[in-house]
Amino acid sequence: MLDQAPDIFILITKDLKTLYTQITLKMLLFAAVIGCILPSDAYCQNTNDTTLQEINIHTKRKVSNDSRINDFSPGQKVKTIDSATLHQYQLQSLASLLTQQVPVFVKSYGFNGLATLNFRGSSSAQSAVFWNGVPIQNAALGIADISTLPVSFMHKVNIVYGGSSALWGSGNVGGALMLENDAPVFDSAKSALFVNAGTGSFGQYMGGLDADIHNHRWFFSGSVYAQSAINNFTFTSNQGIKSDMHNSRLQSEAVQLRAAYKIGALQVVSLTAWMQQYSREIPPGLLESSSVKKQEDGAFRVVAEWNKVTGSNKWYARSSFVKDESGYSDDAILLHVNNSVYQYYQEVGWKKELGFWGRISMFTPFQLAWLNQQGEGSKQQSRVALVGAYDIKVWKDKLDISVSARNEIINSGTEARQSNILLPGANASFAITPWLLLRSNVQRTYRTPALNELYYFPGGNTSLKPEQGWSEDAGYLLSFKAGDFTLSHDVSVFNRNIHDWILWIGGAIWTPHNISEVHSRGVETENNISYTTGHWKFHIGLNTSYILATTVSSYIYNDGSIGKQIPYTPRYNGQANAGFTFRKLSFNYNHTYTGYRFITSDESYFITPYATGNVQLMLDTRFRQHKLRLSGQCNNIWNSQYQVVAYRPMPGTNWLLALNLGIVKEKNQ
d(C-alpha 123, C-alpha 117), whole Å: 8
| 3-state DSSP of 225-253 | EEEEECCCCEEECCCCCEEECCCCCEEEE
d(C-alpha 320, C-alpha 459), whole Å: 31
Question: pLDDT digit string (tens) for 453-488?
Answer: 999 888 899 999 999 999 999 999 999 999 999 999
pLDDT at position 373? 72
d(C-alpha 305, C-alpha 348), whole Å: 10
**What 3-state class would DSSP assign to 43?**
coil
**pLDDT mean over 144-169:** 94
pTM of the model: 0.89
Bridge partners, 141 (sequence order): none
d(C-alpha 287, C-alpha 244), whole Å: 15
Confidence label for 40 from pLDDT (cuts 50, 70 and 90): very low
- Residues 621, 584: contact at Cβ < 8 Å? yes
> pLDDT exceeding 90 applies to what percent of the chain?
75
Burial status of residue 649 (CB atoms within 10 A of its CB: 0-12, 13-18, 19 or more): buried
pLDDT at position 666? 74
d(C-alpha 487, C-alpha 527), whole Å: 8
| Strand-pair category, 46-47 with 78-80 | parallel
Q: Which residues of 156-183 are buried (b: 16+ CB within 10 A; e: fewer)?
A: bbbbbbbbbbbbbbbbbbbbbbbbbbeb
Does residue 263 have a pLDDT over 90? yes
**pLDDT mean over 210-228:** 95
Residue 185's Cβ-side half-sphere holds a number of Cα atoms within 13 Å equal to: 10
Question: pLDDT digit string (tens) for 95-104?
Answer: 999 999 998 9
Which of 53, 39, 42 minimizes the C-alpha distance to 479?
A: 53
Question: pLDDT digit string (tens) for 503-561?
Answer: 888 777 889 999 889 999 999 999 999 999 999 999 999 999 999 999 999 988 888 89
Is pLDDT larger for residue 20 or for residue 640?
A: 640
Residues 6+ away with beta carbon under 8 Å from 320? 134, 301, 302, 303, 304, 343, 344, 345, 346
CB atoms within 10 A of CB 345: 22
Residues 6+ away with beta carbon under 8 Å from 658? 90, 91, 196, 197, 198, 630, 631, 632
**DSSP 8-class letter at 93:** B
- Residues 623, 661: contact at Cβ < 8 Å? yes
Residues 6+ away with beta carbon under 8 Å from 133? 65, 66, 180, 303, 318, 347
pLDDT at position 60? 57
Residues 6+ away with beta carbon under 8 Å from 520? 120, 121, 122, 494, 495, 496, 497, 498, 547, 548, 549, 566
Question: Domain 2-667 - what CATH class?
Answer: mainly beta
d(C-alpha 480, C-alpha 363), whole Å: 38
Its sign, for the CA torsion 84, 87, 89, 95, is positive
For 460-528, the DSSP string reads --TTPPPEEEEEEEEEEEEEEEETTEEEEEEEEEEEEEEES-EEEEESSSEEEEE--EEEEEEEEEEEE
**What 3-state class would DSSP assign to 452?**
helix
Question: pLDDT digit string (tens) for 4-35?
Answer: 334 433 433 344 344 333 433 333 333 333 33
d(C-alpha 431, C-alpha 58), whole Å: 7
d(C-alpha 100, C-alpha 111), whole Å: 14
Sheet architecture: strand order including 78-80: 46-47, 78-80, 156-161, 175-180, 127-131, 134-135
Burial status of residue 187 (CB atoms within 10 A of its CB: 0-12, 13-18, 19 or more): exposed
> pLDDT exceeding 70 applies to what percent of the chain?
90
Q: What is the signed CA dihedral for 367, 371, 372, 377, rounded to 10 degrees?
A: -100
Of the listed ranges 48-52, 307-311, 431-435, 604-608, the least confidently predicted one is 48-52
pLDDT at position 94? 95
Which of 644, 529, 620, 663 minimizes the C-alpha distance to 100?
A: 644
- Residues 666, 212: contact at Cβ < 8 Å? no
Residues 6+ away with beta carbon under 8 Å from 200? 206, 654, 655, 656, 657
d(C-alpha 379, C-alpha 367), whole Å: 14
Q: Residue 599: which region, alpha, beta or left (left: phi > 0; alpha: psi -120 to 50)?
A: alpha
Does residue 668 have a pLDDT over 60? no
Kindly report the average pLDDT of the chain as a whole number: 88
**DSSP 8-class letter at 599:** S
Q: In the chain, where are the structural domains located?
A: 2-667
d(C-alpha 211, C-alpha 226), whole Å: 15
**What 3-state class would DSSP assign to 40?**
coil
CA 60 vs. chain centroid, Å, equals: 21
CA dist 1 → 10, 47, 295, 566 (Å): 19, 44, 22, 39
pLDDT at position 459? 86
Bridge partners, 571 (sequence order): none
